[in-house]
Amino acid sequence: MRAHGIDISHWQSFYKHQVNPPRPVDFIIQKLTEGIYRDVAYSALKASIQPVPIKGGYHYFRGQWNWKQQMDVFLGQLDGYDFWSIDFEKGGNFSGLSALNKPYPGLVESLPLALEYMKKYSGKPGLLYTGAGTWMDWLKPIWSEVDHYDLWVAHYWLPITVRNPEGKPNYFTIRGAETMRKDWKLWQYTEKACINNGQAFGVASYGLDLNVFNGDVAALHAWAKPVAAKICPTCKQVIP
């Protein structure tokens, strides 16, 4: 059975660990930064996700700021997380009208630099998060520079009523998906949390992104190499 997980940000407001969620939460990925700013719920969410065995942190990459400045801010928040991801999307990154479908100048070209920087200085495994449309429309010129990085694919599985995370990803339902790496690490297969059931996972929002790791829980631990949680010797609580 594949390892299951969720990803969260300030949009979920809070996280309260559940004993029996609708699907297992073997890992959780928290939004840490966007551009040069820390997510507003960073501290509260970091404290609340400590019971989850594997914790990742992601950065929403923006074209309006220098890539290195963004990565330094991201690295500054990464302590206590087992792996990282750069979230590369179109939203907020258009040059001019979104209908023109043009990336912010320098955005695409700076992505390989940011990925290599994180690989060199983080000391943790990393991922490139993106969807098939962005992969095809914007990243095609740099495929050879980024296709060796592990992928966290954003592409929702069909049919909506099932979205079986144990099944095969539907590569061919969107143009370009078939050109992505087949040995993906993570796949975000729905934003509906078992049909708008986010609260059953311990968040405030009805919607919630669900993900699977391309392997079982043992393989996830072998890849992420989680650091043991720090326990307060006095109160016996996990130290975030």
pLDDT tens track for 6-37 = 999 999 999 999 999 999 999 999 999 999 99
Give the model's pLDDT for residue 193. 84
User: Using one digit for the tens of pLDDT, what is the confidence trace for 107-116?
Assistant: 999 999 999 9
Give the model's pLDDT for residue 167. 73
User: Using one digit for the tens of pLDDT, what is the confidence trace for 138-190?
Assistant: 999 999 999 999 999 998 776 554 566 777 766 656 777 788 888 999 999 88
Q: Which long-range contacts (CB under 8 A, 24 or more apart) does 119-122 make?
A: 119/149, 121/71, 121/75, 122/75, 122/78, 122/84
> Three-class SS of residue 6?
strand
> Three-class SS of residue 198?
helix
Q: Is 144 left (phi over 0), alpha (psi -120 to 50) or beta?
A: alpha
Give the model's pLDDT for residue 128. 98
* Every domain of the chain and the residues it spans: 4-239
CATH of domain 4-239: 3.20.20.80
| % the chain with pLDDT above 70 | 90
**Whole-model pTM?**
0.92
